[in-house]
Amino acid sequence: MQLNAYLNFKGQTEEAFRFYERMLGGTIEFALLEHGATADLSTRAPWGESVLHGRINIGGQTVMASDCPPDRYATPQGFSLNLGYKEPAEAERVFAALSDGGQVQMPIQETFWAQRFGMVVDRFGTPWMINCEKARMELENMRPCKTANEAVAV
């Protein structure tokens, strides 16, 4: 079994995929255009047509998307795409890129579980969590707790 996120955009799939390709190091793998032609978005110039189905690989994970008819588009809610990084500087770079023109839900900062964690909805309406966890040893030294507010290092 394979589980993939499938995003809907309001006519911005191509723009979003090109942005994710640049900022996240993604690879656009496939696009099916409104008129039935397939295109390699990484080499083709913008076409100005709706994307019926597209696929991008980000960090070895497949994200799929399409442009939604305007009367069927709904703002994404109840989920986030999570990006995990080992280096705080890379987490901060990606957070800044996704925040440009978007809406910060939680500024990127240190938390009890992460060197850096932040939440943002990018300019295309996609909700993201950026996470750079603390070292395993540090996490293992935390006392079990009932709520996040009770987390305390031993």
pLDDT digits (tens, 9 = 90+) for 31-50: 888 765 555 555 444 445 78
CA atoms within 13 A on the CB side of 82: 7
* Residue of 20, 16, 25 whose CA lies nearest to 68: 16
Which residues of the chain does CATH 3.30.720.110 include?
81-144
Which residues of the chain does CATH 3.30.720.100 include?
5-69
Structure tokens belonging to residue 4: 């993939």
pLDDT at residue 135, rounded to an integer? 81
CATH top-level class of 5-69: alpha beta
In this prediction, residue 109 has a pLDDT band, given cuts at 50, 70 and 90, of: very high
pLDDT at residue 148, rounded to an integer? 57
Given a cut of 70, whether residue 146 has pLDDT beyond it is: no
Residue 149 or 105, more confident: 105
In this prediction, residue 15 has a pLDDT band, given cuts at 50, 70 and 90, of: very high
Type and span of the H or E element at 67: strand 61-67
Share of the chain above pLDDT 70, in %: 79
pTM: 0.81
Distance CA 94, CA 130 (A): 8
Backbone phi, then psi, for 69, in 5-degree steps?
-60, 140
| Mean pLDDT along residues 133-138 | 76
CATH of domain 81-144: 3.30.720.110
